[in-house]
Structure 1
Amino acid sequence: MFSVFPGDKEDEDKDMNNSTLNWISASNVEVLEMQVEKQYEPVDYRENLIFPGYKLKLIRFEKALHDLRIQNCTSILEAESQHSDLIPAKYEGGLKIWECCYDLSQYLFENNVEFQGKRVLDLGCGNGVVGLVALLKNSIVHFQDYNIDVIKTVTIPNVLLNFDDRESVLKRCQFFCGDWGSFAKLRSWNEDEFVRYDLILTSETIYNPDNHKKLYEVFKQRLKEDGVGLIAGKSYYFGVGGGMRQFQNLIEEDGIFDVETVWKNRKGLQKEILKITRKQQP
């Protein structure tokens, strides 16, 4: 007989509820020629000051919403009509930039993280701010977000807006959509091998504890043996229940990675950045 410990039933119920949701399977997103050739007006985007002396051109939220209405993207429009950033398995955010993206971007610059020639995954990329930083530092970047409409409406346009030679920069990019569970096992459309990354960067993706295992699985499957993962987020997400300690505990209990907190803010809402690396084999 198996003993049932306190919390086991609750965990089972959560897993069952999570599994009944119809998560979108991961897939590659192709950049169309019409997207490459599209010309944007100044009113379509704004220049965001990522931190002093560094700006990125980013599609305006109003422009993205306008395009989504034209395309009748019901899941995201439903969320916006409810003034919600999240509808599980339908819309997992992405149109708005959450503040930890800026924290992680600044950390990458201030700590002179090496990007030259590295293969980088911007996991849960949304607007792609963190991935854009990596691209501007001459790395190969794969952008992943749950909703294909987020990738098409903001991520790809933001990449194209920030580089004059669009054809050239796209040779250093790939784009993916869908669920983390299936993405962890997905092969790239033009790669013979299962792709692993030197750096996996993710920001504000730990808000839902029901998805922690799937998120962690991406790091386990896709990070190189000598790779580095950086996870930025709030210490606790009020209203949805996720938090950095829960995710850190999951990693530590598995025993595969070393974990350290490499940055914390000193005032206001508590935010931090975790760094994970694979434990060295004896």
Structure 2
Amino acid sequence: MSSTEDNNLPNGWEVKEYEFSGHNLKITTFKGASLGVSAYVWEPGLVLCRYFENEKINFTGKKVIELGSGTGIVGILTVLLGGDVTITDKPHILNQIEYNVSANIPVSSRHRSKVCALAWGDDQENYTADYDFILGSDIVYNPTQFPSLLQTLLHLCKENTTIYLSSELKYREGSAQFHDELVPEQFNSKLIHASKTNCIYKVTKKIPGNER
């Protein structure tokens, strides 16, 4: 990873470069644009990207949605790995995501990416429940949002949907409880990778009469 400054960018914007699965990504964060925690590339997202690289995961032909994308780095890599990806976050975050999509996804592949607003618990009904994968990195940090997040995950899931959640367990309030207590009430969940205090869980929806 390297950080660069571009004098042509608006004041406060920052560009960092990353490489995953042979793809060089230049991710711009709109610092100073009142995006809060969304104006950063957080470690759980990088851990999930590296997991995709190490496991040689190929999303070709798969329909994917990412929740709380922030900078877009995970969703962008997923597009580059062949996926048909809907990258979502709150409306005021979307310009940052769209900027990074345009900077990193070739025009020939951009038809496989969509950037859309999705507020958990409010407008998930606007999305169909036919995704092969749901992705979320560092989205488990505010206990007041947990019910809405779970509601959204349940709506978007079909029986064979795989959810990858990459979370920081030590420094995010309620994160351990979310994964250890709340998720297992309605989902099957397995810890599949750990990097220091960042953990990736593979999650599937519990189907009555077909527990797996």
TM-score tier (shorter) = 0.7 to 0.9
Please point out which of 172, 183, 200 is paired with 1:273. 200
CA distance in 2, matches of 1:55, 1:43: 21
CA distance in 2, matches of 1:274, 1:209: 18
Instruction: Say whether residues 1:236 and 2:170 are aligned partners.
Output: yes
Alignment of 1:183-262 (within 5 A): 183-187=123-127, 194-237=128-171, 241-254=173-186, 257-262=187-192
* Number of positions where the alignment pairs a residue of Structure 1 with one of Structure 2: 200
Aligned-pair distance for 1:242?
Answer: 2.2
CA distance in 2, matches of 1:115, 1:98: 22
Alpha-carbon RMSD across the aligned residues, in angstroms, is 2.3
Aligned-pair distance for 1:215?
Answer: 0.9
Q: Which amino acid aligns with 1:113?
A: I
- Could you say if the C-alpha distance between residues 156 and 228 of structure 1 is closer, same or farther in structure 2, counting changes exceeding 3 Å? same
Aligned-pair distance for 1:211?
Answer: 0.8
Question: Percent identity of the aligned residues?
Answer: 25
Please point out which of 145, 149, 172 is paired with 2:92. 149
Please point out which of 170, 183, 187 is paired with 2:110. 170
CA distance in 1, matches of 2:48, 2:7: 27
- The aligned counterpart of 2:26 is 57
Q: Which amino acid aligns with 2:132?
A: D
- Could you say if the C-alpha distance between residues 117 and 57 of structure 1 is closer, same or farther in structure 2, counting changes exceeding 3 Å? same
- The aligned counterpart of 1:263 is 193
Select the structure that is richer in strand.
2
Contact 1:50 1:102 survives alignment (8 Å):
no
Aligned-pair distance for 1:50?
Answer: 4.0
Contact 2:42 2:138 survives alignment (8 Å):
yes
Contact 2:118 2:124 survives alignment (8 Å):
no
Aligned-pair distance for 1:140?
Answer: 0.6
- The aligned counterpart of 2:102 is 160
TM-score, scaled to structure 2: 0.83
Aligned-pair distance for 1:42?
Answer: 8.1
Consecutive unaligned residues in structure 1, runs of 5 or more: 1-40, 69-75, 78-84, 86-92, 188-193
Alignment of 1:16-95 (within 5 A): 43-44=8-9, 46-51=15-20, 54-59=23-28, 61=29, 64-65=30-31, 68=33, 76=34, 85=36, 93-95=37-39
CA distance in 2, matches of 1:115, 1:208: 30
- The aligned counterpart of 1:18 is none
CA distance in 2, matches of 1:58, 1:126: 11
- Could you say if the C-alpha distance between residues 163 and 173 of structure 1 is closer, same or farther in structure 2, counting changes exceeding 3 Å? closer
SS of the residue 1:179 aligns to: coil
Contact 1:94 1:145 survives alignment (8 Å):
no
- Could you say if the C-alpha distance between residues 48 and 218 of structure 1 is closer, same or farther in structure 2, counting changes exceeding 3 Å? same
CA distance in 2, matches of 1:180, 1:217: 8
Consecutive unaligned residues in structure 2, runs of 5 or more: 1-5
- The aligned counterpart of 2:3 is none
